[in-house]
Homo-oligomer: A and B are copies of this chain.
Amino acid sequence: MATAMGGLHGPVVAASWTKECTFQLLSNCFLQKPIFTKTSTAKLSFPCMPFIGVAFKKTETHVVSPNISSPSVTTGLLDAWDDEYGGVIMNSESLPMSANAFASAFQASLSNWKIKGKRGVWLKILQEQADLVPIAIQEGFNYHHAEPGFVMLTYWIPNEPCMLPASPSHQIGIAGFVINDKREVLVVKEKCPCSCSGVWKLPTGYINKSEDIFSGAIREVKEETGVDTTFLKMVAFRHAHLVAFDQSDLLFVCMLKPLSYDITIDDKEIQAAKWMPLDEFIAQPYYQDDPLSKKVIEICTAAQEDRYSGFTGHQLNSKIDGKLSYLYYDDLKNI
């Protein structure tokens, strides 16, 4: 089913749950902070978002029950919104804070949702509501994902395999290949007592939240070496599994052009940094013995010699989600 490529498929409202549908559904509801954060009341308009259309527009008709902070809390239903995939999203702002009140309101709501044929239930519990976590778990909720400040739990009502979507699964790393006009590569030696401690390496790191790949490469190079650069092209990427948090990892190798040359290392992470002749860099036995590294260096060398183009990033708008995002492709092909 559709993903974030709005223009290729656009909004999706499936007649039944699908992992991706739900995921896109959530992509919208999570963008709609009002549903899940303290700023809720501050924002009542919901722009059309990718894959969702006008889903989650908060109107009275979406409110399953009166706010449970009312006196009827113990007998009332939990405040929640229907989603367009047959599920409900509970309002974390009006959860009863006592175990009994939550349990009874949830049981009443669950009966109500079952009658209505609802499927997935989404419950975001804020850090200050942590007392509700064991209660929700006891009621049959399962953890879905968490970030500092909250944990998201889900409950699957149908008597069939859960089709709720997975949480984010990848970290995005970059390696910066910075080469100057003298065919010298910017390399670092990390503070590392292990087998590769003596090896000169490319600066690498993970991109920050909502950071673009090329920006992350420029930032990491600057942080580790003090050298300013500009992005030229992404020449290759590695996809590895069972890495951090037992999840997966994509590492993009970015070719960067230096804009400055003086080196100032980040001595918390880096032992040394320097400009090293490319041939010397390649000749390090450590890399010659490693098929993956050897190939990456061959690719970088070909790119430096204009024998390889790679992908550049182009900011394009999608009318579906109204987003300006980067499309990476080979723009030397007269596309």
B-contacting residues of A (Cβ < 8 Å)?
1-16, 18-21, 23-24, 26-27, 30-31, 50, 52-53, 127, 130-131, 133-134, 137-138, 142-152, 165-175, 190-196, 199, 201-202, 204-206, 208-210, 212-213, 224, 235-251, 253, 268-269, 286-287, 289-296, 298-299, 302, 307-311, 313-314, 316-321, 323, 325-330, 333-335
Assess whether A27 is in contact with B245, with CB atoms less than 8 Å apart: yes
Q: Assembly of this chain: how many copies?
A: 2
Assess whether B18 is in contact with A240, with CB atoms less than 8 Å apart: no
* Chain B residue at minimal CB-CB distance from A223: B1
Cα distance A298–B244 in the bound complex, in angstroms: 36
* Chain B residue at minimal CB-CB distance from A154: B148
Chain A interface, >50% SS class: mixed
- Taking A5-B292, A26-B244, A239-B328 as known contacts, 11 extra A-B pairs with beta carbons closer than 8 A to each other, sorted by chain A number, are A3-B206, A7-B291, A9-B202, A20-B204, A20-B206, A27-B245, A131-B134, A295-B314, A295-B329, A298-B335, A309-B333
Assess whether A239 is in contact with B31, with CB atoms less than 8 Å apart: no
Cα distance A150–B212 in the bound complex, in angstroms: 30
Assess whether B292 is in contact with A327, with CB atoms less than 8 Å apart: yes
Assess whether A190 is in contact with B1, with CB atoms less than 8 Å apart: yes
Assess whether B150 is in contact with A191, with CB atoms less than 8 Å apart: no
Tell whether A21 pairs with B269 under 8 Å between CB atoms, given A168-B247, A196-B320. Answer: yes
Assess whether B130 is in contact with A2, with CB atoms less than 8 Å apart: no
